Amino acid sequence: MLVPFRTATFNRISPMTNTWPPYPPPDETELEKAVRLEEEKVAKRISDEIERQIELDRLELKKKRSETKILLLGQAESGKSTLLKNFQIHFAPKAFYSEVDAWRAVIQLNLVRSVNVILAYLSRASDAAAAASPRFSRPKDDLRWLKMRLAPLRQVEVILNRLLGVNADGLDNLSETEMDWDSGKLSEVAVGSDFGWRTLMRTEKPRPTSKFWDDLDDARKILEACRDDIVAMSQDQMVQNVLDEEGIQILDEPGFFLDQASRICTMDYEPTAEDILRARLRTAGVEEHRLIMESPPTEKGREWVFYDVGGARGQRAAWAAYFEDVNAVMFLCSISGFDQVLGEDRTTNRLVDSLKLWKTICSSKLLEGATFILFMNKSDILQKKLDAGIRFADHIEQYKDQPNDFEHVSAYIKKILLAIHKECSPKKRSIRAHTTCATDTKMMSHILGSVRDIILMNALEQTHLIA
* pLDDT surpasses 90 at 398: yes
Per-residue pLDDT, 155 = 92
Same domain, 201 and 111: yes
Indicate whether 322 pLDDT > 80: no
Average pLDDT of span 204-225: 79
Task: Note if the bond before 152 is cis, omega within 30 degrees.
Answer: no
Q: Which of 246, 277, 308 is the last residue of a domain?
A: 277
Calpha distance 184→282 (Å, rounded): 19
Backbone angles phi, psi at 251, to 5 degrees: -60, -25
| 407 in the same domain as 258 | no
Of 308, 348, 354, the C-alpha closest to 329 is: 308
What pLDDT does residue 465 have?
A: 43
As a whole number of angstroms, the distance between CA 277 and CA 437 comes to 11
| Rounded Cα distance, 216 and 287, in Å | 25
Q: What is the DSSP letter of 3?
A: P
Percent of all residues in the chain with a pLDDT value above 90, rounded to a whole number? 30
* Number of domains observed in the structure of the chain: 3
What confidence category does residue 58 fall into, taking pLDDT thresholds of 50, 70 and 90? Answer: low
Confidence of residue 193 (pLDDT cuts 50, 70, 90): very low
CA–CA dist 19, 8 (Å, integer): 15
Share of the chain above pLDDT 70, in %: 73
CATH number at residue 369: 3.40.50.300
Structural domain containing residue 436: 69-92+293-462
Indicate if 259 and 390 belong to the same structural domain: no
Statement: residue 131 has pLDDT above 70: no
The verdict on residue 286 lying in a domain is: no
pTM of the predicted model, to two decimals? 0.74
Q: Rounded to an integer, what distance in angstroms lies between the CA atom of residue 89 and that of residue 109?
A: 22
Residue 85 has pLDDT above 80, yes or no: yes
Average pLDDT over residues 335-359: 90
pLDDT at 121 over 60: yes
Is the same domain home to 394 and 373?
yes
68-72, 166-170, 360-364 — which is least confidently predicted? 166-170
Between residues 333 and 94, which one has the greater pLDDT? 333
Domain contains 2: no
Q: How far apart are the first and last CA of the chain?
A: 64
What pLDDT, on the 0 to 100 scale, is given for residue 377? 95
Check residue 7 and give its pLDDT: 41
Angle between helices 100-132 and 195-202 (to 10 degrees): 140
- In 147-259, which ranges are E strands? 179-180, 185-186, 190-191
**407 pLDDT above the threshold of 60:** yes
With 60 as the cut, is the pLDDT of residue 179 above it? Answer: no
Do residues 120 and 174 both lie within one domain?
yes
Phi, psi (degrees; rounded to nearest 5) at 168: -150, 130
Asked if residue 63 is part of any domain, the answer here is no
Which neighbouring-strand residues pair with 191?
166, 283
Q: What Å distances lie between residue 359 and 111, 367, 424, CA to CA?
A: 37, 12, 7
User: For residue 258, what pLDDT is reported?
Assistant: 85
Confidence grade of residue 459 (pLDDT, cut at 50, 70, 90): low
Predicted confidence band of residue 249 (pLDDT cuts 50, 70, 90): low
Specify the higher pLDDT residue, 223 or 32: 223
Query: Which 3 state secondary structure label does DSSP give 195?
Result: helix
The string of DSSP codes covering 349-402 is BHHHHHHHHHHHHHH-GGGTTSEEEEEEE-HHHHHHHHHTT--GGGT-GGGTTS
Q: Are 453 and 394 contacting, i.e. CB atoms less than 8 angstroms apart?
A: no
Of residues 200 and 340, more confidently modeled: 340
* Res. 178 pLDDT band, cuts 50 70 90: very low
Are the beta carbons of 152 and 171 closer than 8 angstroms? no
| C-alpha dihedral sign at 204, 208, 213, 219 | positive
Query: Residue 307 CB: number of other CB atoms within 10 A?
Result: 18
| Per-residue model confidence (pLDDT) at position 467 | 42
- A 10 A CB-CB count for 205 gives 4
Cβ contact 262:227 at 8 Å: yes
Indicate the range of 62-76, 172-186, 247-261 predicted with least confidence.
172-186
| 265-316 tens-digit pLDDT | 999 999 999 999 888 877 666 778 888 888 777 777 888 888 887 666 666 6
Q: Rounded to an integer, what is the distance from CA 185 to the centroid of its chain?
A: 20
- CA distances in angstroms from 48 to 7, 35, 51, 58, listed in the order given: 18, 20, 5, 15
Run of H or E residues at 328: strand 328-334
Q: For the residues 240-249, what does the mean pLDDT come to?
A: 72
Q: Is 332 in the same domain as 450?
A: yes
Where is the domain boundary, 251, 277, 303? 277
Pick the residue with more confidence: 172 or 86?
86
| Residue 406 in domain | yes
| 138 burial via Cβ count (<10 Å: 0-12, 13-18, 19+) | exposed
Cα-to-chain-centroid distance, residue 243: 30
State the pLDDT at residue 350.
94
Q: Strand, helix or coil at 348?
A: coil
Over residues 40-57, mean pLDDT? 80
**Which stretch of 13-17, 285-289, 305-309, 429-433 has the lowest confidence by average pLDDT?**
13-17
The mean pLDDT value for 427-435 works out to: 91
Judge whether 252 lies within some domain: yes
Query: Has residue 20 been placed in a domain?
Result: yes
254: preceding bond cis by omega (within 30 degrees): no
**Lowest-confidence segment of 26-30, 316-320, 355-359, 435-439 by average pLDDT:** 316-320
- Are 255 and 108 found together in one domain? yes
Checking if the pLDDT of 223 tops 70, the result is yes
Residues 199 and 316 in one domain: no
pLDDT value for 251? 54
Q: What pLDDT, on the 0 to 100 scale, is given for residue 49?
A: 84
Do 11 and 129 share a domain, yes or no?
no
189 versus 94: which is more confidently predicted?
Answer: 94
pLDDT bin (cut points 50, 70, 90) of residue 390 is very high
Could you count the other beta carbons within 10 Å of the beta carbon of residue 139? 12
- Lowest mean per-residue pLDDT among 63-67, 238-242, 324-328, 354-358: 63-67
Decide if 318 is inside a domain.
yes
Beta bridge partners of 72: 308, 330
Q: Which residue has the higher pLDDT, 234 or 170?
A: 234
pLDDT of residue 252: 54
Residue type, 415: K
253 and 380 fall within a common domain: no
pLDDT computed for residue 312 by the predictor: 66
**Residue 114 · residue 256 · CB < 8 Å:** yes
Same domain assignment for residues 255 and 300:
no
Residues 176 and 302 in one domain: no
Is 285 within the bounds of a domain? no
**In the beta sheet, which residues pair with residue 329?**
71, 372
